[in-house]
Structure 1
Amino acid sequence: MRILISGTTYHPALNGQAIFTVNLAEGLAKRGHEVAAVYPSEQGKAYSRTRNGVRLETVNSFSLSFLHPDSFVPLPSVKRVRQILDDFQPDIVHIQDHYPTCRSVVMESKKRKLKIVGTNHFMPENLAPYIPGLSKIKPLYNRLLWNWMLEVYNRVDVVTTQSRVAADIVRAQGLRVPVFPASCGIDLSQFRPDPSVDRLACRARYGLDPGRTIFLFVGRVDKEKRLDVLLRAFQYMKRDDIQLVIAGSGAELNELQALAKKLNLGERVRFTGFIHENLHVLLNSADIFTMPSEAELLSIASLEAMACGLPLLLADAVALPELVTPGVNGYLFKPGDSQDAAHYMELLADQPERWDEMGRASIEKAQYHGLENTIQRYEALYKDALNKTS
């Protein structure tokens, strides 16, 4: 098949949507499909090139780095999108969001009677922190933002979401086309327990305390991740042998570092910056993985930690409960509740004899989310869409 995938973000961005899109595009290319990725240029000026078997076709853009380092807004791109579609001649189109580039792709694809698959990564909570004043009119902006998304997604042929709860959410918001859960997938050959990892050496490299229980967060350090909840949890702890490690970067980093200083947390919190190449090593050196976000439609970072054999402590919000069986492979805490988070952090720290057992349960759950399964699922969806008459 000739598959055109479009979105607002791609390599070298390291957010969940970009990672999924790259993994899917390159995985499909490895299986013999011709794949093109269309997205706003991270360099500003549009370019065409090939990377890992995927044809990259970008549109002109300008940076919104003052809002977020990975934010590039496309300039008017209908003409460029039309040119790409005419040149590539895709059999099927797959959009990743409802922003301007994908809107242009949908509009031009409909003119050509192409089948369109749409994957939804959107939640209003992901966008709201970057639009001043929206928190004061939350119900109104939620409705407006969902309507903005539905205007595009109700024009595609089939929609996928990363989890069952994410599918339920978009149906409840007014999606009228068929919607199916399909995991974003993770590379199980890369993310796995690795006995060869020198845990002490890794901890020394990143300044992690070898004598403390390490709770690890990996991901964007942005408002919607609610990392402040974990920092404030230390105020409620009786023990001081717990260290929180935040491996990531983002718009909220300076504010969180200031909060850690204000709370006098010292070495109890460690900011490592974003770690990509050696992430599996860091995961194999931690004790427990934590994700306090209240806007996760799946959480690739949590899945990667599970595949490496870590117990979980996640917020009981949106799709995260699908990853945890409480008491079996981890626990869930009340969203936004630092005292409840502290309770479960101490509970897990008190149970080192159960970490291996919980880790094995995490590994078992993670197998369903293997990247090969995801790629085969999308191949089947594409074929099914192509076989259905309009």
Structure 2
Amino acid sequence: MAIIKFKDIWSSKPVYGSGLAAEDEGKYKYLTQSEINSFIITKYTNDNSKMLQKNDFLISRAGTIDVYYHNKDEEIAFAGYLVKYNINKNICLNKYFYLYCKSHMQELISLSSSGSTMPKLNPPDLMDWKIKIPDIETQKSIIDIIESNKELFLKYIKYIPLDNLENCKKKCQIIIDIIEPIENISFVLNSLKLKIINIISKYGDMILNYGKESFNLSKQKEEKFNNCYYSRTGEIGDFNNEISGYNYFKEPPSRAKILLTPNNLYISRLEGERKILFTKYKNLKNLIISSGMRGLYSDKYKYSQFSVLMSDSFFKFKEIYSTGTTMQGLNDKSLNIFFDKNKFNPNYEIIIKELFKLMSASTELLRKINLVQKKLISLLVN
């Protein structure tokens, strides 16, 4: 295995992409930085001066740093924030180097220089990057291993050593034997959870205006918090009852005003969003969420009412009645209009309550499985 500088495997000077703006129509497909990880290219150009052929390799040079390997027979043009690197195929295979870059992405990003508005990674920044390159036959063998389960192995590529064939085999086998089964369990459980959410939503549509019971939901009060864990609205999933992250703050943002409380339902106020949160489990971290979410509770037929707030009918109402100048959303006045003008049928309360329990239990089980998965990933690091 050789340790060499990146510039020493160039067969010719790197080629910058076209500086022309992308068009909605044109003669040639036009790969832009925003679509290098997309399966579909939606932009076009009539300029054929900067074209990609099969097996060509690119690195983006500004903004979000990433790499691209052109594995198609179709020739396409590429845009100015992308650079084509012509690599000596007697030293390194383009596909191998693409995988190597994916595996060393953080190292690659660290080489970028700070621009006035965004990070920049031009060829001069990469010239002296020291890389570990095995012989061609080893590269081919490693490519074959990754290609055998490409989607899975690319997901964990940063944990897979690509400079040693035996170590590569070992780590990939750990992923197949341990990580993949956990992923499969998560996939099945998440699919079940989403089906439960959808059933609750359908019940909400079914019971709305098929009864004489008035809405009696109360709104959770907003409070001021310090020294707390806070989850931004952007870290709450859309209609999946899931929080993807949170951070500790001594002085949290001004919107951190809602304590996540068991057995309350939280819905997004913002137009176009269908974020919901519900749990029956104690909030161990006293997690705070944004006032962009509205907390609601009741002592009578609350699950029936919650299901209505998860229904398509309520979502359509929110789209119509959302107000605001900078951020359109549903305010308390609009919410009261919905409560005042509608009734619901409480006869399915027991069934809907059980569905909410299942939704909460599946969400909590998924959270624990994800924690186990993160610990198992440490096997790949060691």
> Fold-level match, TM-score > 0.5?
no
Greater Rg, structure 1 or structure 2?
2
* TM-score normalised over the length of structure 1: 0.24
